[in-house]
Structure 1
Amino acid sequence: MRIFSDGNTGVVFNYGDPLFYQNEMHSGPAPLPASFLYGQLDTYRNVWAQGRIRLLIAVLYPFGAAALFKIPASELRNQIIGCGEFFGTHIESLNDQIASSPAIQDKIWAAERFLLTHLQNPPKYNTLVTKTIDIIHSQNGLISVAELTTLTGATERQLQRKFEEQIGISPKRYAGITRMQYALRMLRKKSAHLSLAGVACESGFFDQAHLIREMKNLSGLTPGQYLSPQNVLAANLIRLVH
């Protein structure tokens, strides 16, 4: 499976067969723990499954990881970290509960209760960051940093520093990811009136070639590969076909 950035971070609970990923510390695929966090990703990551895939993924708001784990989001960038690093042995009972609960809603409730408990007394969200994110989403990522500074009254340096601290990436990078996800949503809808060139134009890319190039930079895939039958498991997680 391939995971790439959608502008959010997340916590993954695996109650199926083992997962593996490419770790810089290992020459081959390294095993993933039963639950793990992924931070903001500058590039895609491959995850391998041997057997049945059963995942419960809590997708966090862009600033959620910094609030939940109480560390600068920049320290989580491009990282896949076992939840035991943050929650100690408490996570093991949650993993067992998720695995043994017969109904998916029970699994969701267990994860929600655990995460909300650890979110008690979170740091205050920076209003500059949340306002900027709202603006970026309202424009589907089609906005420059210069325009953001005008609309928020902040300097480019202030935006950069706060985004790195609470989101983990720059506002320019976040806007670019938002724009690509907007294009992918249109692709998934398979709008009859829009060709690939039309999607590129609608989502603010110079032309079809530019869209394809940016998508390959983000996900390593072409639009055709992304839309292969039954490949898309989530907006930023797909099953690779060999």
Structure 2
Amino acid sequence: MSIVPADQTSAALAPFVVTLGAYDLGPGTVEVHRGLPSSTVSITIPEADSLEIAWHGRPGSGRRLRAVVAGLHLGAAELRQEGCTRGVWLTLSPLGAGALLGLPASALAGHVADLADVAPAMADLPERLAACSSWPQRRALVERTLLTGLARYGENTDRHGLRATLAALSRTTRVQEAAQLLGCSRRHLSTAVRTELGVTPKEYQRLIRFEAARGGLVAAARAGQVSVAAVAAASGFADQAHLTREWRAMAGCTPTEWLRTEGPAARDREPA
């Protein structure tokens, strides 16, 4: 999977789009991927075939959707795409949910939905993407669509307040510390975060720490020097055991199991 960093998107979209990527795993294959817990809203748009998504460890939770929007979630998802395994994948910051889709991230937290239901104005985006002949065309189409959403909803987004709240939670390890930075009570912060994100401040900090560990594991694997203990320390975990327990609870596997099945080395073995 190739990923286009958000700094290569339109400057107007940069505060809202975290990643924008194209994936192409080749025709005639069945790919199952683990959707890890995330502090972003993700949108996956297969080019031709629908996507089956289920929550890990929840039998009967599977749904087949044409294009998937997933909110912030603390558990792992399982995604299966058959046939033409090609499409577009992007993630939005919590700010981006309101500014680009017209609804708070809390409306999607812990849920998956079809893009057409979340943003009816984007209902035909999968078909329009399928008609494009190259990734630059697809990226340009996605950006134009998002800019249209920004023009429609952007003025209704409290960017400054939410951005300050997320920054304070990201810079601290305790909710009380974040509240002090913001000059408010812990109760006020909890209410505000639940209203905007659909998770508690502590849960959001867990997601940030989990994502930091995931990034550290990927970087270490690419460098050929994986030390789970070192990643745990750098990501704010008490020790390696703490990191492993958190990964089992949130991802349904250990860090080393995830690296073996879906880490950089595993990706390098996949058809491009």
Common fold by TM > 0.5: yes
Q: Secondary structure, in 3 states, of the residue corresponding to 2:198? A: coil
How far apart, in 2, do the equivalents of 1:193 and 1:30 lie? 38
Pairing 1:130–2:160 present: no
- The amino acid of 1:84's aligned partner reads A
- In the TM superposition, what are the counterparts of 1:39-78 in structure 2 within 5 Å? 39-78=71-110
Instruction: Choose between structure 1 and 2: higher helix proportion.
Output: 2
What is the aligned partner in structure 1 of residue 237 from structure 2? 205
Q: CA RMSD in A?
A: 2.8
Q: Give the drift of 1:126.
A: 5.0
Counterpart-to-counterpart distance in 2, 1:62 and 1:45:
19
C-alpha distance in structure 2 between counterparts of 1:201 and 1:76, whole Å: 32
Alpha-carbon distance between aligned partners in 1 of 2:180 and 2:61, rounded to the nearest angstrom: 48
For 2:148, the aligned partner's letter is T
Write the deviation string for residues 56-82 of structure 1: whole angstroms up to 9, x where unpaired: 112111222233333343221111111
Instruction: Give the match for residue 106 of structure 1.
Output: 137
Offset of 1:51 from its aligned partner? 2.8
1:10 to 13, 18, 42: 42
What is the CA distance between 1:21 and its match in structure 2? 1.9
Q: TM-score, normalised by structure 1?
A: 0.83
| Residues 41 and 105, structure 2, Cα contact 8 Å, conserved in 1 | no
1:179 match: 209
What's the offset of the Cα at 1:41? 0.9
Counterpart contact for 2:73–2:109, Cα < 8 Å: yes
Letter of the 1:127 counterpart = H
Q: Could you say which structure has the greater relative contact order, defined with CA pairs below 8 angstroms and 6 or more residues apart?
A: 1
Secondary structure at 1:43 match in 2: coil
Percent sequence identity is 26
Q: Is the 8 A contact 2:34 2:78 kept in 1?
A: yes
TM-score by length of 2: 0.74
Superposed displacement of residue 28, structure 1 = 7.1
Aligned partner of 2:191 in structure 1 is 161
1:117 aligns with 2:151: no
Deviates more, 1:61-70 or 1:142-151: 61-70
| Other structure's SS at 1:63 match | helix
Q: 1: CA distance between counterparts of 2:132 and 2:108?
A: 30
Give the SS at the match of 1:68.
Answer: helix
Q: Compute the displacement of 1:50 (Å).
A: 1.7
Instruction: Report the CA distance between 1:193 and its aligned residue.
Output: 6.8
Q: Distance in 1 between matches of 2:227 and 2:127?
A: 47
C-alpha displacement at 1:167, in angstroms?
2.2
Alignment partner of 1:48: what SS?
strand
Give 1:19's match in structure 2, choosing from 47, 51, 57.
Answer: 51
Q: Distance in 2 between matches of 1:125 and 1:144?
A: 24
Could you give the per-residue CA deviations for residues 88-136 of structure 1, whole angstroms, max 9, x where no partner exists? 3x43432222112111011011111112212224213253321132234
Give unpaired runs (5+ residues) of structure 2: 1-32
Matching of residues 143-158 of structure 1 within 5 Å: 143-158=173-188
CA distance in 1: counterparts of 2:53 and 2:226, whole angstroms: 36
Alignment partner of 1:5: what SS?
coil
Q: Is the 8 A contact 1:15 1:54 kept in 2?
A: yes
Asked if structure 2 preserves the Cα contact closer than 8 Å seen for 1:129 and 1:159, the reply is no
Instruction: Quote the Cα distance in structure 1 between the aligned partners of 2:214 and 2:122.
Output: 34
Mapped partners of 1:91, 1:133: distance in 2: 27
